Structure 1
Amino acid sequence: MARVERNLVEPIVNARLQGGRAAGVNWIPAIQMKLEDIFFKRGLFLALIGFLLGRALILSQLSPFGLPFFAAVFLMRREHAPLALLGLLVGAFTNSIVSGVTLFAAAFILLLLNKIKTPAIESHFKTMAVYVLLSLGLADLARQYIMFRSVNIYSGMMIAVEAGLALILTLIFIQCIPLMTVRIKSQALKTEEIVSVIILLASVMTGTIGWVAYGLSIEHILSRYLVLLFGLAGGAAIGSTVGVVTGLIFSLASVTSMYQMSLLAFSGLLGGLLKEGKKIGVSIGLVIATLLMGLYGEGTNNIMITVYESFAAILLFALTPTALLGRIAKHIPGTVEHTNEQQQYMRKVRDVTAQRVSQFSHVFGALSESFSHIDESSKAEEDEKELDYFLSNVTEKTCQMCFKKEQCWTSNFHTTYDSMQEIMHELNDNDGQLSSQTTKEWGKYCTRSPQVIAAISQELNFFQANQRLKRQVHESRKLVADQLRGVSAVMEDFAKEIRRERQNHHQQEEVILEALENFGLQIGNIDIYSLEQGGVDIEMSIPDCQGRGECEKLIAPMLSDILGETIIVHSEQCTTFPGGQCVVVLRSAKKFTVETGVSHAAKGGGLVSGDSFTTMDLGIGKYAVAISDGMGNGERAHLESTETLSLLQKFLMSGIEEKIAIKSVNSVLSLRTTDEIFSTLDLAMIDLQDAKAKFLKVCSIPSFIKRGEKIIKIESSSLPMGIIPEFEVDVVSEDLKAGDLLIMMSDGVFEGPTHIENVEFWLKRKIKEFETEDPQEVADLILEEVIRVKGMIDDDMTIVVTKIMHNTPKWASIPVQPKRKRA
């Protein structure tokens, strides 16, 4: 329970002491710690609340507040329960001795019931509320019988009402106390939770009924202060709710305060409506409500007292630190403070997530550096050691039993070593053949020349196998390093995307809103994330257009004129219920677009082709076209080429650079099986922003670009995928233009008719003769021409034709007034 008092008073204490800290006064923290020790740790604040609740009455005779408060403290902070009970008893005895004795008896019965049957953990709240009902009911019955020796119907009804209210208040107090004991930083309070807190505060203020200072009612001042506080923190809805609840409890406590409910509710409503004026606006709302309701409720007799009470509440409100208002507003949904708190919390979560992703990216980067790092000095030293081991094995087989060993390896070590090394290199370079001159010279020097040469030749086979294995390991390390580097880059880009935040473009938002609203369009909300040229990103909510296409036909064309570039609808989420809001995302249109036509045929007119193709929009302004040809024909070749493209697509869609993606696919294919099943790959990556294209060809045939009457050939050479774990991918770059036709084909098409000597020239001539520029028609015509000239389909054939075009929006831009255009 210590956390209850701490959270209620600490904001006020901190705010009042903030100025002292700014001035650098050293004794401020000591005073703060002393106050915290007295009020919070020792439970003095609980005793003060208990004193006021012990005094609180309903209908001048019912006191249902004290026992529920004691039960809540007993459950939540049992160590402070005696002090809370002491405060309750003192407050009750200030009303009458009978009230104090009744409360003490009820508390004793409550503890007795709890001792007899301790509530289960899963239902201890409800069980404690029932115990409060029974305890207060038995204590009141005993009091009624002792004082009057009888219990009539009226008395029984009043006892039942008081016990029932106590049961409800127990559940309310238990619900309120955890909200104030735990420091909630980002959780919003529900409406019923706010009402419960107000009931507790109003119940506490009920204990001040009858207190008067200079002719002014303390309860009136405190109730209006409470309305001012929540009116500014939560707005009209919360302010009026606080006024109604507080006024209702006051009217139950004293019938003469009935008009206060209207005054407080009206004050909360006006103050909330004028909250933009801060404390002054809310205070003006209270003054207006006081004058109107004062004249209506009590005439002109006591209006000056009512006004003075309101001004006293305003004075207390003016002295309230702004920090306290901010803390209250943070927990009320819909307020600016709550929104900022939620955004700050989400920003922290986003930053932590982005930081973790970035850390993983750095880990992968470090692993990549570790795999790719090769110390040249250590590599040279290792090569020298391997040569020593090589010659040691040779000498072990030949020189150990030779009578000239001492002369060769002691007296002439360097000569013998260099000669044997020269023989090894010559055998290695000449496929195991040694020149006659070297054989003759070595025969003069060594008495066991044939045996030594044979031993060197035999050891050389093992040495070469070891070197091949080392190269494969080195190439595998390099591939792993490239893959890790690619993953690191993707994760770093993902971390940057997570950190992507809505930018402040208030002026541009006003310009766009003004232009659209003047055009007659209703815009609910607009968020601008980026206004960079070619990278515009805007999100807005609009009322349901019922399928009229306002986003594509009106909003996007108007934004195109305002921003000076073509804007298109990227995505749209329509509402699922009448009167809802649709969310639309508008982004910059790419300068180029592509249209693809495909024509293919299986060997012998079959249904399954060993060729596969795919076209994919990578979502980052790039478009990929790929053809893969599996080795041979039929189902096995089809599965091989299909899996090659499937793996490639997954790598490319993840954001990995295309060269690393192709190497990774090759690594998977080469390690997956020992069967000699290979596939080719022909990949074209087209940048839709500037029409630059990269061609990556893995054992694929040339491609052609038709630009008017000009035919451009694109070719490269490398081994098929899956043969060796590591190979270099040649990248050919070419700037495409609008109207270009990119023609890619498999080897079944390029091999062409057998009676044609120069198939490449024949294909170029045929492509140049085509009058149509429709990609599908061009693909069909090429396939038809090849089959007609061949007379048969002797291999799988696939042709993919891609046309590059300027991106012309479907709807023209709608001009707006020049003053609205972006500078």
Structure 2
Amino acid sequence: MAEWAPARAGFMKKQTNIILGHLIWALGGILFARANIEGIFAFGTAYLALLILKGEKNIVTGLAGIIIGSLTVQNYSLLACLGGETLLYYLVLKNKKKDKNKALILGAAVLGASFLSGVLLFLWMKGLNTEEIIRVSARALIAAAFSLLLDHALADHHHILKATEKKEMSITLLIVISIALSGLNQVVFGYANLQIILVSFLVLSIASRFGAGLGAGAGAVLGFLLQWNFGPESLINAGLYGLSGFIAGGFGKFGKPITCVAYVSAVLMFTFFVNSLIIPMHLLSSGLGLLLFLLLPQGGPKTNILKKRVVPEIETTVSKVKTLAEIFDQLAFGLHAAGVESCRLKPEVPELMNMLVERICKNCPNMSYCWEKEFYKTYNHLFDLFIKLENEESIETDHLPGEWRKTCGRFQEVILAARFILDQQKDRETWQKRMALNKDALAKQYKSVSDVIGHLAQELHSRHNQEEGRPLVWGRQQKNLIDIGIGTFVKEGNGISGDNFNAVPLSSTKMALIVCDGMGVGEEAARMSSAALTILEQLLSTGFEPEGAVKALNSILVLRSPEESFVTVDMAILDVQEQKGRIIKIGAAPSYVKDGSDVKVLSTSSLPAGIFNEIEIPVVEISFTDEILILLTDGVIDAGKNIDVHRDWLKDMLEKTAVCTAQEMAEKIIEEAKKMANHKMEDDGIVLVVKKKEKTFDKNKSSMENKH
């Protein structure tokens, strides 16, 4: 009995949300069906087309709202056109949600359906003339334009609903709101005008949240577009609400009560000078809008302008962190310059000749004869010797000048010493180049550390540098989560897998999923892949960008013994809010994206990390809406090579497999791979399956269950 109460509460909350969603879509249909421009009702049909395009579950509710709205304004012509337009939209726009040209298809469908239905209606009723053709064309053009505008506005509505601290507001969403509010024209209850109530609330909210500039702009747009008659009255409303929003925004930092007083004063003053007869209606309606504004919490920062001051301790910390970032930046610059300079320091032939003279000729009895009497001949002989030794691996003494062979008492010693000096110099140059490459790699890591520390200082200064309270914000809870499934197997005869994976949360909506394959199999490969995953997790958690983290991993592996440092990296950075992702593949096996029965193979040509100092970072952009992402290692793909080398067995299997949970799909892939290899696995393998899932409340009060 104790468990029944939370379950029932969760069920009731879910039902309430469903009912509320239906009411919102129906209300949108009513408002857009009532909205018109000079008697042209074009917004309802565009609203219906967008619902069908997006495949919303509330199409019937929205259609019912459009019918109710049309009946309230006695617009029977829209009702007559609605049936044919609905059928055309369903035929053209169904399943076009993911089409790249969906905006073009939407506009063309609305334009064609609106024009065709209008022409047929007038032909059936009273025939066509020039005026009717113009009205039908205007309605079709307005409907097509509004459908595109509404599509863009709904795609950009997250910033306002989540109350994010962005300093700009989507103008398209503001225009859509104005059109919806124009559907409330002449909706009056006594002295309370519903249109004025909502406009006052919106102007106050925007002015308080974004300041005087955007408050004035929002007031002007809302005031001008409320009635769509483009007459002097619209200009007066634009000026009235624009100036009221500007004044309210100027007092926004003093709190809600002061903002409301400033707004009411501006409205009363302008209304008195423009038309004093409507003061009672404006006063009551604006008062109700103010009451709504005061009752609902806003997302703006709650600051006291008289108490706003810098916290000295945090300011000192920020200064020290910035200095530390500059130090790492200078270290990076110095190491990079030192690496470049060391590559240029190559000794010339005369320097090598001096080394030879110090070792051989200095103690020779013929020193004075060779380097005093025959200086030019001796110098030229040694210079030619070094040039030949540099260009040829071995030389014959017979090819050297005979006069020199006769006069030099240590001829063979000179040849051997010259060859030794050159070999020694080549070894020195090899190590200098490697040291320069390592210095350059270290310089890049210092630069990345400098950037991370600089971002930390900026975050400290921008977010926590003032004594302010934390605002209470009504925000939407994240609807989508990530469902992960894992499947593994090891090579026959081994007890540990050399393939590993990890999941690193980057933010509340973004996660990095990583699969690593160490070189070879067994314990050594497991150690390498585990170390690579640990390094990547630490770098990503610190604030490194994914590409920078992979480059840093490559540099660390290169600095180790090259015989033991090869590892492949397959990283997916997924954002459930933006519904997209990026795949970084470093020597990794192909990945697969399953969208229904369609399967796309993602592959790149790159070497594993740890081989060269410079590494290419191939990035593949993907959509992450209803798709399923499969990351795996080459051991899984190679399980079917004994049956058909040229056949991609996994792609064929995924095309035939029905959509299921991530874990079930991972287990199916592993079982199929074992079956293809007759359970005699020749390599380690791991499969990581990722898909989105919705979360709902279960019977436990604070836990969540997955809805696949």
**Which structure would you say has the larger Rg?**
1
Q: Which structure's relative contact order is higher, taking Cα pairs within 8 Å and 6+ residues apart?
A: 2
TM-score, reference length from structure 1:
0.40
